[in-house]
Structure 1
Amino acid sequence: MTLTVAMSDAEIRRQAARPEVGRLRAAQHPALRLRFLEERTRGSWDVRAAGEWKRFAGWPELNTKAALAVLPEVLARLAAGGGSGLLVNGGRAAGVVPGAGDA
């Protein structure tokens, strides 16, 4: 099940306790979602562009505040055809968040 929520780390932790919820959509940014991984203590940040969901970071490595902050840049890169550089390295969106590439 997918829920639309006011995305925050606290809300993600609350919803992680509900096994029927597999994805959270951000009410403030409909192009952003979080997919829970099987153990539900981690997740994947996805962005929707050109009709497809693309992973750009992991949660909690990239917290909600940081994911919302880089979202405009991620969307701009996708719109410009730069989708290959969106995956994270060290929990940061590659080429977007300062320090990308640090282990």
Structure 2
Amino acid sequence: MAIPLRNTIYDKVKEVGSLTDVELYRSLTSDGLIIPEDKYNKLLLDLEILGLISVAWITKDERRIEAIVIKEEVDKIDEQNKEMMEKDYEASFPGFEK
């Protein structure tokens, strides 16, 4: 089963964090993936629409591609509630002592 090009491109960008479109294209070519320019641009656009990467123009002919990392915010109150529920559940068994 072949891995879709979109996943391959995203994995490369995520691995490095940020690179230019030229560097990414060279990296893909060195891996044996020859992608026409229009398809390459479409794949980058798809990934940007999905919110996985950010593409910004650096110069007239070069773009900066960055992986977007979503940090999951931990709610302290939810954590406390979860701990209390676990303790209450464990305490509900007869003969359980901690």
Identify whether the pair has TM-score above 0.5, normalized to the shorter chain. no
TM-score, structure 1 normalization:
0.25
TM-score, structure 2 normalization:
0.26
Greater per-residue strand proportion: 1
In terms of Rg, which structure is larger? 2
